[in-house]
Amino acid sequence: MSDHLIVRSIGPAAAIQDLGRPGFMSVGLTRGGASDPTALHEGAALLRQAPSSAVLEMAGMGGVFEASTKIRIALTGAVMDASIDGVSVQWNASHSVSAGSILKIGAMRQGNFGYLHVGGGFNTPSYLGTRGCHLSAGLGRLIQAGDQLPIGEDKGKDAGCHLVPEQRLDGGKIRFVRSMQSNKFDDATMTRFTKTKFRRDPRGNRQGIRMDFVGESFQSGGQLNIVSEVTIAGDIQITGDGTPFVLMHECQTTGGYPRIGTILPCDLNKVAQAPVGSLLRFELLTLEEGSAVQARANAVLSGLRKSVKPLVRDVSSIQDLLSYQLISGAISATDAPLD
């Protein structure tokens, strides 16, 4: 059997993901893919492999894993407690895991979606050309305890590196541009929308997330007689009672509620990772400004490898500090911990 990762235990909402499955809109299938695509680029930079590699997305909580052989891993996205054979390891970093070692990923500290990457990517079955699970379309399934996740051939060697992730785990400013139905909302409503402090509502999933707020609702003219029209991830849909819902990557391909605008792809990560109750505010950009912001974000993602640095050991994070021969000076300040 090929190299694989054995799943000893797993949270209720973990699935294999990738950058999605474009090209099927005309047959009713949205792109899908990871909730935080930036995390996929970060993991790929840490392991020096393609961002299209399949990863394990863990919503809310992680799991316990055992490697069948020595593998490289990277941990990105929502920050979670992680350890290898009981020794805690850094998030937003790459590590080596020996054959038979136990990788534990536990409670989530910040954000909603954490990612486990392996060198070579997960080599699970593909559906319609890619491996990412699209639950609302019935493609793939959630990962269960006892699963053995096959791992592709790892052509890389580097581990023990880290990067400083783009800040995106606690809500904040979300930039959007006007979309095809924005003109159904008058100027006063649009201004009020951009001045309102929203909180991420507990009602949300991979299809859409409700925005909670205090105050008058955001009604459009002619809200009830709109013809169903194409929807895309990032659309801010205003439902019949005037509440905004942000459509996420597994949204349907059409929808009958008007959209006040569309969030830039580079800021949709922030909505996905915003914890329940966190503050979100929407900032309207012109199409030209939005396009420039997104182009810069794309450039940052393609240059991420340059910001990957070797891990420096932080003494306070070494749990078995007393077992080291500190006096003789035989410890390196730059080696990969927990190799």
Partner 1 sequence: MTENLELQETWPQIKTVGLAGIIVTFSGALSEPANRAAIAFSAAVGEMEWGEIEESNSTLVSTFLRIDLSVHKSEPIIERLQELVDSKDWLSALLPTGRTLWRVPTLFGTGRAPQLAEAAEMAGRTVEQAITDLSTTRMRVLTIGFAPGQPYLGTLPEHWNLPRQTNITPNVPAGSLVTAVRQFCLFPYDTPTGWRHVGATGFLSFRPNSAHPFPLSAGDEMIFDPVSEAEFVQIESVDHSGNGGAQTEVLG
List the Cα angle 129/115/123 in 5-degree steps.
35
Q: Considering the rule CB under 8 A, would residue 184 count as an interface residue with partner 1?
A: yes
**Helices vs strands, H then E, count in the chain:** 4, 20
Tell me the window of 40-48, 76-84, 114-122, 248-256 that interacts with partner 1 (CB under 8 A): 248-256
Which of 1, 214, 227, 322 contacts partner 1 by CB under 8 A? Answer: 227
The residues with which 102 forms a beta bridge, in sequence order, are 66
Q: Considering the rule CB under 8 A, would residue 252 count as an interface residue with partner 1?
A: yes
Which of 107, 164, 287, 321 contacts partner 1 by CB under 8 A? Answer: 287
Angle between helices 287-302 and 265-273 (to 10 degrees): 70
Tell me the window of 42-50, 154-162, 209-217, 259-267 that interacts with partner 1 (CB under 8 A): 259-267
**What region does 230 belong to: left with phi over 0, alpha with psi -120 to 50, or beta?**
beta
Name which of 164 and 180 has its Cβ closer to partner 1. Answer: 180
Which of 12, 22, 202, 240 contacts partner 1 by CB under 8 A? Answer: 22
Measured CA distances, 271 to 199, 315, 327 (Å): 10, 34, 48
**Least distance from C-beta 255 to partner 1, angstroms?**
9
Q: Considering the rule CB under 8 A, would residue 269 count as an interface residue with partner 1?
A: no
Q: Considering the rule CB under 8 A, would residue 127 count as an interface residue with partner 1?
A: yes
Gap between the Cα atoms of 43 and 119, Å rounded: 10
Q: Are 97 and 73 in contact (CB under 8 A)?
A: yes
What residues contact 34, with CB distance under 8 A and at least 6 apart? 17, 18, 19, 20, 40, 55, 57, 113, 115, 132, 249
Q: Considering the rule CB under 8 A, would residue 283 count as an interface residue with partner 1?
A: no
**What region does 90 belong to: left with phi over 0, alpha with psi -120 to 50, or beta?**
beta
Element (H, E) at 265: helix 265-273
Tell me the window of 22-30, 74-82, 104-112, 302-310 that interacts with partner 1 (CB under 8 A): 22-30
**Least distance from C-beta 283 to partner 1, angstroms?**
14
Site string for partner 1, 187-226 (x = CB under 8 A): ---------------------------------xxx--x-
Which of 64, 137, 142, 318 contacts partner 1 by CB under 8 A? Answer: 137
SS3 label, residue 120: coil
Which of 138, 214, 224, 323 contacts partner 1 by CB under 8 A? Answer: 138
Q: Considering the rule CB under 8 A, would residue 177 count as an interface residue with partner 1?
A: yes
Which of 120, 204, 208, 290 contacts partner 1 by CB under 8 A? Answer: 290
Tell me the window of 100-108, 180-188, 238-246, 315-323 that interacts with partner 1 (CB under 8 A): 180-188
Gap between the Cα atoms of 241 and 43, Å rounded: 40
Element (H, E) at 108: strand 102-118
Instruction: By CB under 8 A, name the binding residues for partner 1.
Output: 22-29, 127-128, 137-139, 176-180, 183-186, 220-222, 225, 227-230, 232, 234-235, 252-254, 261-265, 287, 290-292, 294-295, 298
